[in-house]
């Protein structure tokens, strides 16, 4: 769950309608393939023009490098893809390669239904462990029965990435002589300094709810261990949400709110509105994900930069992050080796370069000799992602933990920041949701 | 003697044939989905996988112990005040102002007052999110400019004020419908009644109580049913403004159904809520119709 807005959902609905019209006709217009030609059917959800162009280029270059191979691409909006994929993967003429959304309800269900090919052999063959960290791999991993998330076999590889950090207004920083803080302590004293200047330290709006989870969890990620966040997210080893660290993170968040570090009246401001305020120069910083980068590069006279929330005493710290929707292989395909070759191409340095060129964060490192300009805002987010990926410090969107976790966290954080509940109430209420989920799986 | 419903020699089934197109559409798109929803409410089902488990009335038992559901239902009742009662009172008041004396620009006023009703709810939500915005919304600016800055707040994010704020958007949307309904109803009340009563010395208020109000009985009943139903099934307004927040202070059953079904993958449970909501709406409509009929006799 990332960006929510009414407009986006409208666009998606419209696109869905269009897509469903198209998919109805595409079956009849397939060119008949020559007998010596191999066709690889690929379903992806990169439907926005910029993304789609990257995919087209990658596909053409793959065809050029593999004589006799033809890629038959079908683009779908994510919702459409998720609805149609289970049935399509169960057919012998279904897609050989498809993007399968992460999480229990999508990839987990398809693994359980024995529709996806485990990629462990290819992981070894292509040395994918050099391309992505184990923490990234576990996001696309399930036990063969589809029940345990985060371990077992690899079922997909992700080409794109996201990281949550701090965007700052370079102009405001420069004119006040502020610099990027190296420790969390520095960060907090900077907040005080900015506030004293009469500037909003953190542009924030919690009306839409979901992004408050990122504000809380970004602080939480500095306090908890990697094992803890993995256990919590994947629902293993019976961890609790009601811990001193989580309570401390809630206390810090509440403290920031009480000291007026957030936009005044943030409870009544939506996510997009708060970003627009930040973009127009109101507010020195905002804490959100790398997906905002493109938005902040256009239509504004302000200069922005990006840094990761620094750890306590400058210790290396985790950051919320993740990889985009992965490519998987249909279990019953006869072209598994070719499909794996295609997957390898999707996460190649060349692909990284093309995604970066389109302003989208690639999950894999850019080639050594890349001429890509990393000095601007996009470079900041790219470096941030590369540093946590290399250090294996990629955290999680904790709302993956249970099917209701996102809604519970949203409601409880609004209560916390609205002064209705205390940090202790907050962790206890969220733990209730988590315990109920763990109990339901025992049945 | 048996009544002939058709001409001699004509098939008695011909009439039914004319019904077929509309009926089959109704059957496929309304009636069967309702039955399917009721059936789903007896299952534990995530809405995606092929297997679902029969659990009898377990969803319903859970439902009436679910604080969230009861809380949402309570908010729906509050919405009746904003969606139904306030618009009807406002509609009656404005309609009697507009209908009695011919005023200049009548059509203009009528159009302007009816405008909220024809706007898409998404547009309404976006407009009011802007109006209520604490940073740049006109409402707080107005309050500050007239020295009531202390009353300015984050309306939609305030635990006390979010529900009345969303509710008042509902009033703004619904009163236009009531107004137009009552205006057209008033045109059917003979002008002589008013003339005769004023000769007898009746004032405007007395005329309203004894002539206008009884004359609008069926219009009020229609307005009551349709706004009542709108209050009980409200979803779009909450979805576009607060998504049930802050906390769950604006959570309504309609949004709970959506959230359970499509975000939390509890299709069975969502179906149970929908079924209960349907029963409540049907009974409310029947009761209102009953009172309207008994009043006419």
B136-157 pLDDT, tens digit per residue, is 899 999 998 898 888 888 999 9
Q: Does A109 touch chain B (CB under 8 A)?
A: yes
For residue A214, name the pLDDT band (cuts at 50, 70, 90): very high
CATH number reported for the structural domain that contains residue A178 in this entry: 3.40.190.10
Q: How far is CA B138 from the centre of its chain?
A: 27
Q: Which of B134, B244, B248 sits opposite A268 (nearest CB)?
A: B134
Average pLDDT, integer, range A30-43: 71
**Residue A329 and residue A306 share a domain:** no
Q: Which range (A15-19, A190-194, A294-298, A412-416) has the least confidence?
A: A15-19
**Residue A416 and residue A283 share a domain:** yes
User: Given this model, what pLDDT does residue A84 score?
Assistant: 85
User: Given this model, what pLDDT does residue A25 score?
Assistant: 38
Question: Regarding predicted confidence, which is higher, B249 or B51?
Answer: B249
Say if B81 falls within a structural domain.
yes
For residue A16, name the pLDDT band (cuts at 50, 70, 90): very low
For residue B3, name the pLDDT band (cuts at 50, 70, 90): low
What is the span of the domain harbouring residue B210? 53-296
User: Given this model, what pLDDT does residue A3 score?
Assistant: 43
The total number of structural domains that make up chain B: 1
User: Given this model, what pLDDT does residue B6 score?
Assistant: 64
Q: Which of B46, B240, B246 sits opposite A418 (nearest CB)?
A: B246
Cβ–Cβ gap B159/A407 under 8 Å: no
Question: Which residue in B151, B157, B164 has the most chain A C-beta atoms within 10 A of its own C-beta, making it the best mutation to test that interface?
Answer: B157
**Residue A174 and residue A81 share a domain:** no
The total number of structural domains that make up chain A: 2
Say if A204 falls within a structural domain.
yes
Q: Could you tell me the CA-to-CA distances from A71 to A42, A327, A365 in Å, in that order?
A: 7, 15, 25
Q: Could you tell me the CA-to-CA distances from A304 to A291, B107, B287 in Å, in that order?
A: 14, 52, 61
Q: Does A280 touch chain B (CB under 8 A)?
A: no
User: Given this model, what pLDDT does residue B5 score?
Assistant: 62
Q: Indicate whether A424 pLDDT > 70.
A: yes
Interface contacts (A, B; CB < 8 Å): 92
**Residue A54 and residue A88 share a domain:** yes
User: Given this model, what pLDDT does residue B138 score?
Assistant: 92
**Residue A329 and residue A253 share a domain:** no
Among B residues 92-131, those touching chain A with beta carbons less than 8 Å apart: 122, 125-126, 129
pTM: 0.81
Say if B46 falls within a structural domain.
no
Q: Indicate whether B135 pLDDT > 90.
A: no
Say if B198 falls within a structural domain.
yes
Interatomic CA distance for residues A246 and A434, integer angstroms = 14
Say if B41 falls within a structural domain.
no
Say if A391 falls within a structural domain.
no
**Residue A141 and residue A50 share a domain:** yes
Please give, rounded to a whole number of angstroms, the shortest distance from the CA of A414 to a CA of chain B: 5
Say if A293 falls within a structural domain.
yes
Q: Could you please report the per-residue DSSP string of A319-381? A: B-EEE-PPEEEBTT-S-HHHHHHHHHHHTSHHHHHHHHHTT--BSSPPPTT-----SSHHHHH
For residue B250, name the pLDDT band (cuts at 50, 70, 90): very high
Say if B12 falls within a structural domain.
no
User: Given this model, what pLDDT does residue B296 score?
Assistant: 63
**Residue A419 and residue A316 share a domain:** yes
CATH number reported for the structural domain that contains residue B271 in this entry: 1.10.3720.10
**Residue A189 and residue A43 share a domain:** no
Closest CA to A225 of A247, A246, A252, A254: A246
Q: Which of B125, B156, B239 sits opposite A268 (nearest CB)?
A: B156
Say if B40 falls within a structural domain.
no
Say if A366 falls within a structural domain.
no
For residue B2, name the pLDDT band (cuts at 50, 70, 90): low
Say if A220 falls within a structural domain.
yes
Average pLDDT, integer, range A77-92: 84
Q: Indicate whether A4 pLDDT > 50.
A: no
- What percentage of chain A carries pLDDT values higher than 90? 60
Q: Please give the structure tokens belonging to residue A29.
A: 């217009």
**A133-188 per-position pLDDT tens digit:** 888 888 999 999 888 888 899 999 999 999 999 999 999 999 999 999 999 999 99
* Sign of the CA dihedral with B10 first, then B11, B13, and B16 last: negative
**B269-294 per-position pLDDT tens digit:** 999 999 999 999 999 889 888 887 77
What is the span of the domain harbouring residue A133? 13-23+34-160+324-347
H/E stretch holding B186 reads helix B162-186
Only one residue has tokens 């249909």, namely A330
Average pLDDT, integer, range B202-211: 86
**Residue A331 and residue A253 share a domain:** no
Q: Which of A209, A268, A420 sits opposite B243 (nearest CB)?
A: A209
**A301-347 per-position pLDDT tens digit:** 889 999 999 999 989 889 998 888 999 999 999 999 999 999 999 99
Say if B24 falls within a structural domain.
no
Cβ–Cβ gap B247/A264 under 8 Å: no
For residue B79, name the pLDDT band (cuts at 50, 70, 90): very high
Q: Indicate whether B218 pLDDT > 90.
A: no
**B162-173 per-position pLDDT tens digit:** 999 999 999 999
Say if B188 falls within a structural domain.
yes
Q: What is the mean pLDDT of chain B?
A: 88
Nearest CA in chain B to A278: B135
Closest CA to A2 of A153, A162, A237: A162
Q: Indicate whether A210 pLDDT > 60.
A: yes
**Residue A65 and residue A146 share a domain:** yes
User: Given this model, what pLDDT does residue A296 score?
Assistant: 87
Please give, rounded to a whole number of angstroms, the shortest distance from the CA of A382 to a CA of chain B: 31
Say if A277 falls within a structural domain.
yes
User: Given this model, what pLDDT does residue A310 score?
Assistant: 95
Q: How far is CA B190 from the centre of its chain?
A: 30
Question: Regarding predicted confidence, which is higher, B262 or A256?
Answer: A256
**Residue A200 and residue A87 share a domain:** no
- What percentage of chain B carries pLDDT values higher than 70? 95
**Under a CB-based contact definition with an 8 Å cutoff, are residues A261 and A195 in contact?**
yes
Interatomic CA distance for residues A97 and A326, integer angstroms = 10
**Residue A313 and residue A202 share a domain:** yes
Q: What is the mean pLDDT of chain A?
A: 87
Question: How many Å from the N-terminal Cα to the C-terminal Cα in chain A?
Answer: 28
Q: Could you tell me the CA-to-CA distances from B231 to A265, A365, B37, B237, B287 in Å, in that order?
A: 28, 54, 21, 11, 16
Q: Does A410 touch chain B (CB under 8 A)?
A: yes
């Amino acid at each position: 769950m990332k960006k929510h807005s009414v407009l986006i959902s409208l666009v998606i609905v419209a696109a869905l309608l269009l897509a469903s019209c198209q998919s109805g006709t595409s079956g009849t217009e397939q060119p008949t393939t020559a007998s010596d030609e191999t066709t690889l059917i690929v379903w992806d959800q990169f439907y926005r023009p910029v993304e789609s162009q990257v995919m087209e280029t990658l596909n053409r270059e793959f065809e050029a490098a593999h004589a006799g191979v033809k890629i038959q691409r079908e683009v779908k909006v994510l919702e459409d893809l998720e609805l149609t994929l289970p049935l399509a993967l169960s057919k012998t003429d279904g897609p050989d390669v498809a993007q399968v959304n992460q999480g229990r309800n999508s990839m987990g269900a398809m693994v359980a239904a024995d529709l996806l090919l485990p990629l462990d052999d290819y992981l070894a063959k292509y040395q994918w462990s050099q391309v992505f960290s184990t923490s990234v791999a576990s996001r696309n991993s399930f036990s063969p029965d589809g029940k345990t998330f985060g371990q077992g076999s690899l079922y997909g590889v992700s080409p794109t990435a996201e990281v949550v950090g701090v965007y700052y207004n370079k102009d405001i920083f420069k004119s006040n002589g502020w610099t990027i803080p190296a420790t969390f302590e520095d960060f907090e004293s900077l907040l005080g300094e900015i506030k004293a200047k009469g500037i909003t330290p953190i542009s924030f709006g919690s009306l839409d709810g979901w992004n408050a989870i990122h504000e809380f969890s970004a602080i939480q990620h500095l306090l908890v261990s990697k094992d803890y966040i993995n256990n919590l997210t994947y629902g293993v080893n019976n961890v609790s949400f009601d811990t001193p660290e989580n309570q401390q993170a809630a206390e810090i968040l509440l403290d920031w709110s009480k000291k007026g570090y957030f936009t005044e009246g943030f409870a009544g401001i939506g996510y997009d509105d708060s970003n627009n305020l930040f973009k127009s120069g109101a507010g020195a910083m905002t804490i959100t994900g790398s997906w905002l980068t493109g938005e902040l590069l256009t239509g504004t006279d302000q200069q922005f930069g990006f840094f990761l929330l620094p750890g306590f005493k400058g210790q290396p710290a985790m950051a919320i992050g993740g990889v985009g929707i992965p490519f998987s292989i249909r279990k019953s395909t006869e072209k598994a080796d070719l499909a794996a070759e295609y997957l390898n191409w999707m996460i190649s340095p060349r692909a990284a370069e093309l995604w970066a060129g389109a302003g989208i964060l690639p999950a894999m490192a850019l080639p050594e000799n890349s001429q890509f300009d990393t000095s601007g805002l996009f470079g900041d987010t790219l470096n941030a992602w590369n540093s946590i990926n290399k250090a294996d410090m990629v955290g999680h969107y904790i709302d993956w933990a249970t099917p209701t976790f996102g809604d519970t966290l949203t409601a409880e954080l609004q209560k916390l920041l609205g002064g209705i509940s205390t940090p202790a109430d907050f962790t206890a209420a969220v733990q209730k949701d988590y315990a109920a989920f763990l109990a339901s799986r025992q049945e | 003697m048996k009544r002939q419903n058709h001409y001699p020699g004509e098939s008695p089934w011909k009439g039914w044939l004319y019904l077929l197109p509309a009926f089959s559409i109704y059957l496929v798109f309304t009636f069967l989905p309702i039955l399917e929803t009721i059936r789903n409410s007896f299952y534990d089902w995530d809405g995606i996988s092929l297997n679902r488990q029969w659990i009898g009335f377990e969803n319903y038992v859970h439902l009436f112990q679910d604080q969230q559901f009861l809380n949402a239902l309570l908010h729906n009742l509050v919405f009746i005040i904003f969606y139904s009662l306030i618009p009807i009172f406002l509609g009656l008041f404005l309609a009697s102002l507009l209908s009695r004396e011919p005023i200049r620009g009548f059509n203009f006023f009528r159009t302007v007052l009816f405008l909220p009703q024809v706007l898409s709810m998404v547009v309404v939500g976006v407009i009011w999110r802007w109006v209520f915005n604490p940073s740049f919304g006109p409402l707080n600016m107005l309050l500050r400019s007239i020295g009531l800055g202390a009353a300015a707040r984050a309306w939609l994010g305030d635990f006390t004020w979010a529900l009345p704020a969303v509710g008042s958007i509902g009033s703004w949307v619904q009163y236009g419908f009531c107004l137009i309904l009552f205006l057209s109803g008033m045109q059917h009340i003979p002008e002589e009644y008013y003339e005769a009563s004023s000769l007898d010395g009746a004032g405007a208020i007395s005329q309203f109580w004894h002539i206008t109000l009884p004359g609008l009985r069926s219009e009020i009943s229609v307005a009551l049913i349709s706004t009542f139903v709108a209050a009980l099934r409200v979803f779009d307004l909450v979805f576009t403004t607060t998504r049930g927040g802050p906390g769950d202070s604006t959570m309504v059953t309609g949004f709970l159904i959506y959230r359970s079904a499509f975000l939390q993958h509890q299709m069975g449970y969502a179906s149970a809520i929908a079924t209960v909501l349907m029963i409540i709406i049907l009974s409310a409509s029947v009761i209102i119709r009953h009172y309207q009929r008994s009043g006419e006799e």
